[in-house]
Amino acid sequence: MALQGAEPDFAPQRVSFMRSLAIQARTMNALAVRFMVTRYGRENVGFLWVILEPMILCVGVMVIWSFLKGSIEHGVQIVAFAFSSYMPLTLQRHVSSSGVFMLRLSKAILLNHRYITHIDSLTSRMFMEFIGTSAACLVIYTILLAIGLIEPAYDLGTMLIGWLMMGCIATGFACIYAGASECSEVVEKFFQPVQYFLLPVSGTFFMVDWLPSNLHQYITYVPTVNAFEMFRAGLFGPNVTTHYFVLYGFSCGAIMIAVGLLLIEWVQDRVQA
């Protein structure tokens, strides 16, 4: 008489949503640490370069602007204006640049860990850049406030929303660059020129109210202008007149993210091959 044993159950176990979220968070954290070690190494300050790099660049720009432009411009402290210009710009550049060739760079990870996707790798890299630049922004703001070079922010909540808007827009750029750079290597060659061409209209070097009134409506069609204006509205308060549209800025970022994800979905089979 043959013995009949219970058949093994190969069905995947159900995992609760919170458990899945915790696993995903650990995966993102591990990938971010891996990218930091690969980029900065373990020697000297190591991970601190994630914060120190944008800090050094921003402080350098503020010093140069102070010498070139004096202490006040259009009734705004030049140090505070440089801070409100270069920190959001650094966020946009660091997060968006993380998408270039990110899919092929993460190919080795995917070969060894089949449950990690291209989106996981890209998200962890963008998250690392966002957290590092945000920490640098907070440290610089605290130091400038402590030594009296800037006034306390009028509305930190408005500043934060403007910062998140810039992060959303930068994420959209990163997703598009991630997909487009796998379609053609020419995209990588044009990345830096495009960044510089957009700089004059990005809102980095001006406030909308400084422009002729007939240009106000048109310049706010540039998504990053809304993020800069909202960040400055929270920093300067009623001392300056700002022009921004919250829904428009976040909508542009969401649309770019959707387009980028479609591009990634389209090219990821080619990358895996």
Number of domains in the chain: 1
Determine the pLDDT at residue 184: 74
Q: Are 244 and 225 in contact (CB under 8 A)?
A: yes
> Residue 11's pLDDT is what?
46
Q: Is 180 exposed, middle or buried (0-12, 13-18, 19+ CB in 10 A)?
A: buried
Residue 1 pLDDT: 45
**Type of residue at 98:** S
In a domain, 16, yes or no: no
Decide if 17 is inside a domain: no
For residue 259, the enclosing domain spans 24-272
Instruction: Kindly give the parts of the chain with pLDDT less than 70.
Output: 1-17, 20-21, 23-24, 27-34, 36-47, 70-71, 102-116, 269-273
The span from the first CA to the last CA of the chain, in angstroms, equals 51
pLDDT digits (tens, 9 = 90+) for 175-206: 888 888 877 777 777 777 888 888 899 999 89
Per-residue tokens: 91: 């966020």
Judge whether 127 lies within some domain: yes
Instruction: Determine, yes or no, domain membership for 55.
Output: yes
104 in any annotated domain: yes
pTM value? 0.82
Q: What is the pLDDT of residue 37?
A: 64
Per-residue pLDDT tens over the stretch 108-145: 555 455 566 777 778 888 888 898 889 889 999 999 89
Confirm if 63 and 141 have CB atoms less than 8 A apart. Answer: no
Whether 135 is in a domain gets the answer yes
Residue-level pLDDT at 173: 92
Structure-token match 């993460």, residue found:
106
59 domain-assigned: yes
Cα–Cα distance for residue pair 57/144, rounded to 1 Å: 15
Is 10 a member of any domain?
no
pLDDT of the residue at 165:
97
